[in-house]
Amino acid sequence: MQRTPVVENSEVGGQFRQRIERKFFIKPGQIHLAYALLRQVCRPDRDYPSGRINSLYFDSDDLDQHERSTSGEFIKDKVRVRWYGAQDNLPDEVPVFLELKSRRGFASSKQRALFRVGRDKLEYHRLGTGIIDRKLLVDTVSGFGHFPPKPLRPVITVSYSRYRFTEIGSGMRVALDYDISSTFIAREYGYAERSLPLRGGVVEVKGPTMELPRTLRRMKLLNTDWSRFSKYSHCIDAHLETPGTASRLWPSGRMMYT
């Protein structure tokens, strides 16, 4: 396994440059409309305009990070291994990123290190090993300055398709995520379901301020609002909910939008 450290957010004065993330839940029937609106005011990303994203999230046995996320705590950290592309079309050696995403209030930053692993390590029955050697994972996360109070373990995979854009006037990064699904790796939780869908999509706007560019305020046409939508936490909630529950495959509080 070859490692190449990559820090996505450059360090300035001992602090990582932060960004503000705003997220908008999109009803299933309005995903195509959202895409059309974004195409009017944004440029497709030059290098990666679209693709599939897969993440294996780590948490403690008692899902401490999930609880912090759902309770809206000011300080939140997520550890995950991320790779790109459809599972049936991966190369023999796959680049994967061990990432630490940190949030302090509305501001977030991300650090990550690049590894290369064999495609077989990303097969479902092997994800419980964590993809990356445990000691290497702990050492890398510690190098990011993060020291989890409880041992981490692989918990859930979340996959989705993404369109990437840049807003023309401000240069802010914009993404439209859809076709979201998840599989619980910690099998003592949930109901052993694979590829459980989460209905709807998410528009993410990332920039230096809370203020949205004028062009993006058109998102109000979608009858949506800003939220702290977490695909990770909402997918966990769906797996823990009793099968057959009407609101199970929707983010909490969103059935009103059907």
Q: What pLDDT shows up at residue 187?
A: 78
Six-digit token string for 47: 């290098």
Integer-rounded Cα Rg, in Å, for the chain is 18
Q: What pLDDT shows up at residue 188?
A: 81
The β-bridge relationship of strands 201-207 and 173-184 is antiparallel
We find that the CATH architecture of domain 2-8+19-253 is Beta Barrel (2.40)
Six-digit token string for 118: 């064999």
Does pTM top 0.85 for this prediction?
Answer: yes
Q: What pLDDT shows up at residue 14?
A: 34
Q: What is the pLDDT of residues 37-81, one digit of tens each?
A: 999 999 999 999 999 999 999 999 988 888 887 777 778 899 999
Six-digit token string for 209: 């301020």
The SS3 call for residue 76 is: strand
What gap in Å lies between CA 81 and CA 112, rounded to an integer? Answer: 9
Q: What pLDDT shows up at residue 172?
A: 93
Q: Distances in Å between the alpha carbon of 149 and those of 61, 65, 146, 206, 233?
A: 12, 11, 9, 29, 19
Q: What is the pLDDT of residues 127-158, one digit of tens each?
A: 999 999 999 999 999 999 999 989 999 999 99
HSE of 43 in the Cβ direction (CA atoms, 13 Å)? Answer: 9
Give domain limits for the chain. Answer: 2-8+19-253
What gap in Å lies between CA 118 and CA 136, rounded to an integer? Answer: 16
In the predicted model, residues of the chain with pLDDT beneath 50 are 5-16, 256-258
Main-chain phi, psi angles of 116, to 5 degrees: -125, 130
Q: What pLDDT shows up at residue 13?
A: 31
**Do the Cβ atoms of 79 and 242 come closer than 8 Å?**
no
